[in-house]
Structure 1
Amino acid sequence: MIARQMRSRGRGAALIAATVAAFLAQPTASQTLRIGVASEATSLDPHFYDLTPNMELAKHIFGSLTRLTAAGELVADVALEWTNIDDLTWEVTLRSGVTFHNGGPLTADDVAFSYERARNVPGSPSSFRWYLQDISTVEVLDERRLRLRTNAPAPLLMHSLRSVAILSRATAAAATTADYDSGAATIGSGPYRLVSRSRGSAIVLERNPSYAGNRPEWQSVVIRPIVNNGARTAALLAGDVDMINFVSGADIETLRRRDDLRLSSAPGVRFYYLGLDVGRSESPNVTDAQGRPLPSNPLQDVRVRRAMSLAIDRAALTERLLHGQAVPTVYPALRPQPEVPRADIAAARRLMQEAGLAAGFDLALSGPNNRYPLDAQVLQAVSQMWTRIGIRTRVDAMPSAIYFSRAARHEFSATLSGSLSARSEVLTQLQRILHTQDRQRGIGSGNWGQFSDNRTDALIDEAGRTIDEAAREALVRQVADRGITDKQAIIPLYFPINTWGTRAGIAYSVREDEYTLAMDAVRQ
């Protein structure tokens, strides 16, 4: 059905528009769940771009070896069971009876194919290679069994593999990312299959009748991107959608007073921080007051980076700007959390003077204006805080699709980012944002500031090989202490408190990973 629609451009567009309109008009009782989301997926290729909206959508359509429950527990998905034969070898048995949406069986060979493809997708702005960095070989034993050999002990491997979708070799071997985005190749084994996609309007899914897992509640799902917070809330109030994510703190009291709506909240583990260009002697958006390049990059001076952190009033950001829907932090999602210091402008100015920069400098702070809650406003607030210590900061906000691509190419000097992990695997987050970039391994892919420190790298690599959980967590804390607290490679800001709004009669199992999944919404 999808392929026929996409190959006939004119008729296909009309069919998609009609399908979307029909689904949007259906009330909840019609077995259709209509979801308004804050960010639109940029691609339907589950291996193209490691971006949360893309992965969130992929969870509906594709299976992976493992998955996280709403409570954050790692459980089997396509896999039935896995075991360590030795420190370097995992043997995985697949569930029987798992099929793709086109009826083809999912086999161990499809897993091997998927892991090879995910490493080598042309043009990927953020590769999935880093989830697979530990795997040296994949050996297919039979249709349902495979053996994964690693370069070193990899205790978090099954956590990493939950992020890599399993595709059919028969369908995907010759398919391009464009084939996925057209819908022609978008065939997985997940609980829903693709009906249609209209960019900027809606994605329509229907329940997979052959799904091997628990049968999802909803026959049909319509996912509408509604970037503006007020518009998303208005859509829920008007009954145009049944559920929205990232409810703005400014709208919570309004929604709470409505008897026909309900709110569900949970602390999130997305780690919001400011990245700094510490890897280059000249940074593209750092100048003197006249716009001239400086003799050296001041962001390479740790005293300047500490001053920038001290200038930030995290309590003001979280309590006033974000309406209490965030928790200040200076550390990743590890327990216990250290005390968050108050902003100290005097101490920040002293550090700037010690660095020989009492006169300050000019800086551009870049970030998205449609990805994170109030992201453009956060950028403006931080720019004012930095300007108070002599770092005259202008805001460079742009649509997320442009921002992330440019940030990955190291075009910015200072950036706003949010890195998602599970509490049980903060190490993989730090591998991504603090380790020296290594494209061959896929590690350090989110290290846009090009921070590089041999000791931090060594601690990360040692933690990745450490099987004992307590010993590994101790090493992870050492990574955070050195890379963030001592070296100030990045400037932590806060963790969110995520809120979903639903129509009365619909309950949503809130997730610390902030995914919005139709499978977690049920009638009450």
Structure 2
Amino acid sequence: MKFKQTLTVCAVAAALATLGAAQAQTVRIGNQGDALSMDPHSLNESLQLSVTGNVYEPLVTRGKELQLEPALATSWKQTSPNVWRFELRKGVTFHDGKPFTADDVLFSFARGSGDGSDMKSYTNDIKEVRKIDAHTVEFETKAPFPILPGVLSFFYIMSKQWSEENQATRPVDRRKGVENAASFRANGTGPFRLRERQPGVKSSFVRNGNYWGKIEGNVVNVEYTPIGNDSTRVAALLSGQVDVMEPVPVQDVARVNASGKAKVLQGPELRWIFLGMDQKRDELLNSSVKGKNPFKDKRVRQAFYQAIDINGIQKTVMRGAATPAALLVGPGINGFDPAMNTRLPYDTEAAKKLLAEAGYPNGFEVGMNCPNDRYVNDGAICQAVAANLARIGVKVNLQVETKGTYFPKVLKRDTSFYLLGWSPSTYDAHNVLNALIRCVDDKGSGQFNLGAYCNPKVDELTLKIQSETDQAKRNAMIKEAFTLHSNDVGHLPLHQQALAWGVANNVQLTQRADNQMPFRYISVR
């Protein structure tokens, strides 16, 4: 089944009108984007995982302070260096009433590591998942993996029987445009059920009356509406048509705070924005250079890096709501070393010299892909980068588009130069090394290393970091791995963006640094 939906002005107006008629104990959320699918294994993107994480659950979850907490597993322990045993929660049912058992865990991990899954970077170091009994499973890893419980905190469990009955045994493949019942329907164990799904227009959720755990908030209904236009989104909050919206455009923060109707919750986000370059093809897809790939030359990559005026972007595009970065991790992530977080200097003359040394004294043309509704001011950031690169003779043919078409394209690696954001789901540097920097294979290593950067020494260190339990030794290896990556100019780090949620005065919620928004913490007074 294939589904295409165009979000029109009329559709937004109709959705907002519905929101205006909402009842008490209903929270109305407006976001710049939508979850692209209800399938929890189809896209490893934080917004999608935030939305579907209210319907589906992992074995181990994160609390308000990002601490690990039991979810569908009540306890876990290592029984040997390579084996973890999880005791599953009894008495849990899926939303259709069927019981949750070990069979669902085995099925979900087979599904999530199979064709079409976007979650392979969570499963690539798992050798086998075994059923011990109906409520006990074992995970055998390929090597010692002491951080496995944290790795599993965003891997959601589906019902084996429901998936088989609805021909949804394989994930929705965003790269190929393949859809199935899991795209538009959902059957999890979580605190909220999916009531209605209109992709790109509105999704409705209702409190699960049979939920096994505690729901702290008083919200019964959640109306989630994507509102891509910044001005429309702010107007919806200030007029009372939505109760929560994000992100608040940086230029509107003061206005919202002065309205007397809502406030802006701000804080650092565990997300870094960076640029990637195709370093694998012998000839770039979209470039004036024929017969070779300029990005294979470190001098070209470094020229691009030093041509970017990151302080100018911070000041004019982000209006101060970003922190320039030199690494793909930062404060709040285990393994971050502030002593390493020093960028190469912004220097257009040095960049021109590097290009000339690499054989491009007059620059060249290159295509660039960028979303305009996923990260804070993402389209404007790419425009600023393109303007910066023009100063050294590089003509960027920029394609800015909605994430609904952007992600399927770049995830197929149909790009030469792209912008991406990353929030490590394990809050550990290993996640970045494994998903973004490690050499690409078909098991999930480097699954989001879309430019195919590869340094075997970094790979060797990544595997050692995964197994090391001595924190000092582990951090030393993380530092070495990031030093190698930085010296290679494997990616072009930009900045850490800030969270900005607009919240009506009568709403209480929890803002987590990973930008997840659990509905179960929301209350309306």
1:431 alignment partner in structure 2 = 434
Q: Is the 8 A contact 2:120 2:444 kept in 1?
A: yes
Q: Is the 8 A contact 2:101 2:135 kept in 1?
A: yes
Task: Give CA deviations for 1:154-193 in whole Å, capped at 9, x if unaligned.
Answer: 122111211211111221134324112232xx11000100
1:163 aligns with 2:164: no
Classify the secondary structure of the residue corresponding to 1:347: helix
1:11 alignment partner in structure 2 = none
- Report how far residue 509 of structure 1 moved: 1.6
1:146 aligns with 2:137: yes
Q: For 2:271, give the aligned amino acid.
A: R
Aligned pair count reads 496
- Report how far residue 335 of structure 1 moved: 3.5
Q: Distance in 2 between matches of 1:79 and 1:311?
A: 49
Q: Is the 8 A contact 2:191 2:211 kept in 1?
A: yes
1:457 alignment partner in structure 2 = 459
- Report how far residue 89 of structure 1 moved: 0.8
Q: Distance in 1 between matches of 2:470 and 2:21?
A: 52
1:381 alignment partner in structure 2 = 384
Q: Is the 8 A contact 2:368 2:396 kept in 1?
A: yes
1:39 alignment partner in structure 2 = 33
Q: Distance in 1 between matches of 2:316 and 2:522?
A: 31
- Report how far residue 20 of structure 1 moved: 6.7
1:309 aligns with 2:305: yes
Q: Is the 8 A contact 2:367 2:397 kept in 1?
A: yes
1:172 aligns with 2:175: no
Q: Is the 8 A contact 1:422 1:512 kept in 2?
A: no
Task: Give CA deviations for 1:43-98 in whole Å, capped at 9, x if unaligned.
Answer: 11111222222211111101111112232212221111100111111011112322
Q: Distance in 1 between matches of 2:396 and 2:222?
A: 43
- Report how far residue 21 of structure 1 moved: 7.8
2:230 alignment partner in structure 1 = 229
Q: Is the 8 A contact 1:264 1:508 kept in 2?
A: no
2:6 alignment partner in structure 1 = none
Classify the secondary structure of the residue corresponding to 2:350: helix
Bigger shift: residues 81-90 or 355-364: 355-364
Q: Distance in 2 between matches of 1:327 and 1:397?
A: 23
Q: Is the 8 A contact 2:219 2:524 kept in 1?
A: no
Q: Is the 8 A contact 2:55 2:190 kept in 1?
A: yes
- Report how far residue 376 of structure 1 moved: 1.3
The 3 A distance-change label for structure 1 pair 423 and 127 is: closer
- Report how far residue 500 of structure 1 moved: 0.6
Classify the secondary structure of the residue corresponding to 1:424: coil
Question: Equivalent pairs: percent with the same residue?
Answer: 28
RMSD over aligned Cα, in angstroms?
2.1
Q: For 2:460, give the aligned amino acid.
A: A
Mapping for residues 338-487 of structure 1, pairs under 5 Å? 338-422=341-425, 424-439=427-442, 441-483=443-485, 485-487=486-488
Q: Is the 8 A contact 1:41 1:57 kept in 2?
A: yes
Q: Is the 8 A contact 1:433 1:447 kept in 2?
A: yes
Q: Distance in 1 between matches of 2:151 and 2:295?
A: 32
Q: TM-score, with normalisation over the residues of structure 1?
A: 0.90
- Report how far residue 197 of structure 1 moved: 0.8
The 3 A distance-change label for structure 1 pair 219 and 329 is: same
1:85 alignment partner in structure 2 = 79
1:290 alignment partner in structure 2 = none
Bigger shift: residues 421-430 or 268-277: 421-430
2:177 alignment partner in structure 1 = none
The 3 A distance-change label for structure 1 pair 20 and 491 is: closer
Q: Is the 8 A contact 2:49 2:154 kept in 1?
A: yes
Q: Distance in 1 between matches of 2:38 and 2:119?
A: 14
1:213 alignment partner in structure 2 = 213
Q: For 1:320, give the aligned amino acid.
A: T
Q: Is the 8 A contact 2:268 2:498 kept in 1?
A: yes
Q: Distance in 2 between matches of 1:315 and 1:22?
A: 41
- Report how far residue 522 of structure 1 moved: 2.9
2:19 alignment partner in structure 1 = 24
Classify the secondary structure of the residue corresponding to 2:440: coil
Q: Distance in 2 between matches of 1:397 and 1:209?
A: 43
Q: Distance in 2 between matches of 1:211 and 1:475?
A: 43
Q: Distance in 2 between matches of 1:464 and 1:413?
A: 30
Q: For 2:307, give the aligned amino acid.
A: A
1:99 aligns with 2:93: yes
Q: For 1:397, give the aligned amino acid.
A: V
The 3 A distance-change label for structure 1 pair 521 and 234 is: same
Question: Could you list the runs of 5+ residues in structure 1 that have no partner in the other structure?
Answer: 1-5, 7-15, 288-292
Question: Could you list the runs of 5+ residues in structure 2 that have no partner in the other structure?
Answer: 2-10, 173-179, 331-335
The 3 A distance-change label for structure 1 pair 26 and 97 is: farther
Q: For 2:159, give the aligned amino acid.
A: S
- Report how far residue 469 of structure 1 moved: 3.0
The 3 A distance-change label for structure 1 pair 208 and 20 is: farther
Q: Distance in 2 between matches of 1:486 and 1:315?
A: 22
The 3 A distance-change label for structure 1 pair 223 and 299 is: same
Q: Distance in 2 between matches of 1:471 and 1:117?
A: 35
Task: Give CA deviations for 1:445-481 in whole Å, capped at 9, x if unaligned.
Answer: 1111111211111111221222233322322222211
Q: Is the 8 A contact 2:28 2:222 kept in 1?
A: yes
Q: Is the 8 A contact 1:269 1:423 kept in 2?
A: no
Q: Distance in 2 between matches of 1:329 and 1:21?
A: 38
Q: Is the 8 A contact 1:134 1:157 kept in 2?
A: no
Mapping for residues 275-290 of structure 1, pairs under 5 Å? 275-287=276-288
- Report how far residue 234 of structure 1 moved: 1.0
Classify the secondary structure of the residue corresponding to 1:498: strand
Q: Distance in 1 between matches of 2:18 and 2:393?
A: 54
Q: For 2:463, give the aligned amino acid.
A: D
Q: Distance in 1 between matches of 2:512 and 2:256?
A: 20
